[in-house]
Chains A and B, each alone.
Chain A
């Protein structure tokens, strides 16, 4: 997997989160996973096709979601990760992908993202790629968001 294909998905999420929270966010180091065990409660997966094909997921805990989303929209305070929070998280993830698509297009790569699927649960394990998955944590003031990227090459 080439860095120029991966970094737009991470940079895009960091920029959108920073824009909405109006606080600095920090990117952790990149790790390679053969199995994608998710110890966070909420995962949103988006598929994309076009110049590159694959899946990208964004995961966070219920506590992080409550803090982050209620800052972005105070209506999400009323019910932890209820319908309003899910809709807002889906919208944010769509914005991550729009931004990533824009960054990739600047490098001459066109992608077509899907609508996000949101999965909540405990002790989840995902396989988003038949090869390797690249993982990065983005630290926000409200808690970490884990990004996993699986590209088919």
Chain B
């Protein structure tokens, strides 16, 4: 069985690659993975996707509003000024789907984990606090020219 770090790495690589290829935005990884407490505050817009197979877990992509707006504008070619716009939410959700799909494929190819993705969901609001009882997670902070980005990954043993 792979170590947790080996399981986390494809998510970071796919996030930085997807951000660069889809949105033309360079994301600089600021730190190594650090353990997260069971709850943390959203940076502004958050997308979550769950996966299940021989192990199960969750990938969370969290970013500041300015970054979400810039990424959506670069991908769609349309100017947006409100992260509550359905196109902005849909774009971040789809980015998460693409990132997770790539990461899960890589993990399945190397470790034969048989992972399947659930559909992503995305949310925004004021002072959003995210709690994931029962699951240990780890985060990496990234910086772009448009704002901060957090990559949070969690795994636990499947049934």
Write the residues of chain A forming the contact surface with B, with a CB cutoff of 8 angstroms: 35, 38, 43, 45, 47-49, 53-55, 57, 86-87, 90, 112, 114-130, 150, 152
Contact = CB atoms under 8 A, between A and B. Distances in A.
Interface in B83-132: 84, 86, 89-90, 93, 116-119, 121-132
Contact of B128 (A112, A115, A120, A128): A120
B121 A45 contact: yes
A127 B125 contact: no
A116 B131 CA distance: 9
Contacts, number: 111
B58 interface: yes
B135 interface: yes
B48 interface: yes
B86 A35 contact: yes
Interface size of B as a range: 35 or more
B120 to A, nearest CB: 8
B131 A55 contact: no
A49 B58 CA distance: 13
Interface of B: 39, 42, 46, 48-50, 52, 56, 58, 84, 86, 89-90, 93, 116-119, 121-135, 156, 159
B128 A124 contact: yes
A17 to B, nearest CB: 19
A130 B97 CA distance: 12
Contacts of A123: 125-126
7 contacts: A38-B125, A45-B121, A86-B133, A112-B56, A117-B130, A117-B131, A126-B121
Given A114-B50, A114-B58, A120-B129, A47 B123 contact: no
A54 B135 contact: no
Contact of B90 (A47, A114, A117, A130): A130
Q: 7 nearest interchain CB pairs?
A: A124-B125, A47-B118, A121-B128, A114-B50, A47-B50, A121-B125, A90-B133
A117 B118 contact: no
Contacts of A121: 42, 125-129
B123 A125 contact: yes
> Which of A35, A90, A114 lies at the interface centre, i.e. has the most chain B CB atoms within 10 A of its CB?
A114
Contacts of B86: 35, 127
Nearest to A35: B86
A115 to B, nearest CB: 5
A131 to B, nearest CB: 10
B118 A114 contact: yes
B90 A116 contact: no
B38 to A, nearest CB: 8
A136 to B, nearest CB: 18
B134 A90 contact: yes
Given A115-B132, A125-B123, A49 B89 contact: no
